[in-house]
Amino acid sequence: MSAQPATARSRPRPSARKRARRRAILRRRLVLAVGLAAVIVAVLALVRPVDHAVQEIALPLRHEDIIRQQAAEKDVDPALIAAVIYTESHFRDQTSHAGATGLMQLMPSTADYIARKSGGTRFTHQDLATPQINIAYGSWYLRYLLDHYGGSTVLALAAYNAGLTKVDAWWRAARARGERFDAARHIPFPETRAYVQRVLQARAQYRRDYKRELGL
């Protein structure tokens, strides 16, 4: 029988040394891939806290447990409560030059009225420094204003800033002319118009960024 042509002969198997070298290369590639994956995971783990920290600086949220509790008890949007606190005090306990106190910047006379209406017989003005009481009273007042204005958030916020008497007058004047109340046209105070807009914008941000924390 004649010998097979050279092209038909089976290829020689690689030597043991070559096979070992290939296995070593594969192991190194696998180690590099695993290491790269670990680096990516670590970077992502660092980025999330940084993003959260930036968010907390730009739009802080504190006392969310109290906000959720009072929102449920008073039937007020928790994002609205958070937005009012942010706009009033940036979640810092402070007293304004006019005497408004605490996170929701309540005037002592307003707090006295709320205490009488809500049964706070042992209330003192010093209690407004307590987040639980300040947010409870501020939420009660928001509910009161919303009810007074038939659920209108714009009117309630305007009254929270400028006072019930002034907003009642603006509201009645608009109604007497047969006009639907519009913040841009019927609020004569630029400060109050800006306040209403800031709170509404902050509420939208809190709804978007703190949905879980506010129980939305």
**pLDDT tens digit string along 123-148?**
999 999 999 999 999 999 999 999 99
Tokens of 7: 């092209």
pLDDT in tens, 42-92: 545 454 444 445 555 679 999 999 999 999 999 999 999 999 999 999 999
Of the residues 64, 73, 88, 191, which is catalytic? 88
Is the pLDDT higher at 172 or at 19?
Answer: 172
Q: What torsion, rounded to 10 degrees, do the Cα atoms 182, 185, 190, 191 define?
A: -10
Active site residue 73: no
Reading phi first (left if > 0) and then psi (alpha if -120 to 50, else beta), residue 15 is in beta
Is the pLDDT higher at 87 or at 34?
Answer: 87
User: Residue 196: its pLDDT value, please?
Assistant: 97
Please compute the mean of the pLDDT values over residues 204-214 and round it to a whole number. Answer: 96
